[in-house]
Structure 1
Amino acid sequence: MSHSPSFTSPWVRTTRRWRTWTKDFASFGKISLKRRRRAPLLATKKTWVDVEADEATFDKRDMSQDPAVQHLVVKKSETIKWGSGGGGIQRGRPRTLVLRKLIPKLTVKRAPGPGAIRKTKWSTVANELLLDLKVIRHTGSAKSYKAKVRGVLHDKVVHCKKRVKVNGKLRWLNPKYVGIVTHKIPGTQETLKVKSGTQIIDRAWRFLKDRIAMNQHCKAGSSLLRGKLRSAQREYRFKNQDLWLACGDLCRESLRKFYK
């Protein structure tokens, strides 16, 4: 049985409609998040709070295999582009989850990851979100996180083995995922004991990754991946509430431009 060139099977039409609907719905999640981007979501100036910050990688892409982006490759040996992002969250408040897109350098094919966030990028994000907000910041042991921010206390944990010299001998220290740290409040004699670690933000990364299906359309650097991340971020923020009501609020916000 032969078909005309213009014939399209119902399955193909349904797939295209589903792909378009998924992309449009994922883009809805960006609306309210962009409006709240400059708001101090992570903390206030009233009391000291715990904020965890970390990075995550969602996908990688070989630029040399895609003719549309081959011109972006500078070195022939460095062709891997990573889809990574940074984020922060206040403990006990899922609605404060904040994400920022990272643009790491291209790496070689055998690289285990994109590397830690750059110090200049972290300083910009930290000063935008945490400046003078009475925050105790919990991060990993990357050197970039050592950048000082006014009004912010910092502690770190070690997520991998570390080789140190003790009494002239090299020894391997085990990772330290959590610990009790005592901070002195600036300008006073009072102290605060807190638990260091990044367990909350790590679970948030797992929540986001479980809701993103990677395929030939959703990959590192694509707008569909960014839309799905924002959609999953909104779902995480309202995970303890009625998602149906939250979806109604999202649709109402998306229609505001038609009423103006």
Structure 2
Amino acid sequence: MSASPSARAFYGLRPEMVTRLLELRTSLDPALARSDEATARAQIEAVLDDFGDFIATSDLPTHRAFLTSFLAKRAAEESGASSALSTLVAIGDTAVQVVQERLLTGHGEELALLVARVTAGAVRIVNELIADELGRRKALSHELRTGQKRPAAIVASPRPASITEPTPWVMTRGGARPAAPRGESTHVEAATDPGTADLVHTQDDDVDVVDGVVDGVVEPVTEAIPALTTLPGEPEGKTR
């Protein structure tokens, strides 16, 4: 099956996107700035290839599998989930800028919007992956403290209700979780149970935060991205 016009245009601009990102990486993203050029190039090219393949094929499982691997690699590098999100947004935003500058046609506007939507969708998927992992660790922490497994309904991970109304996330050194409703306490105290020294929990809702203390509530990174209606591979009319 031949690639769509949008995918062909994206692939055609890919070399310029890579060059632009390498030139600007020190100001775009701290994780890319810390990397040597070869490492930064490999990460940039991998993300752009994934975005281009998703535009061409609408293969959501493969797209999600890549993002899972990308997040795991960042965790292995001790860069953190917030760093992974920052890198995805920096790459997506720069790709949009290149499209807008080079394709001064209606098709260019369409491709720019599509790349922005794919970027927003990638951020949403990464947030879901983070929530899944924190839910798993939360259940494990509870079991270590009490010797009992939590019911599935309590372990279940939260999901942002809408990409246009994203949920604020509390970013920690070990990941992210939804922020407590306004007015509720977010005081954090250290856990003292044996074997859980790297876990802390909030007094108000007993939600575990892994590998560090709460650094604060950050605004969702998707607010700067155009509202998402439908992603490639999803039925028309499905809203986010």
TM-score by length of 2: 0.25
The structure with higher relative contact order (CA 8 Å, sep 6+) is 1
More helix by share: 2
More strand by share: 1
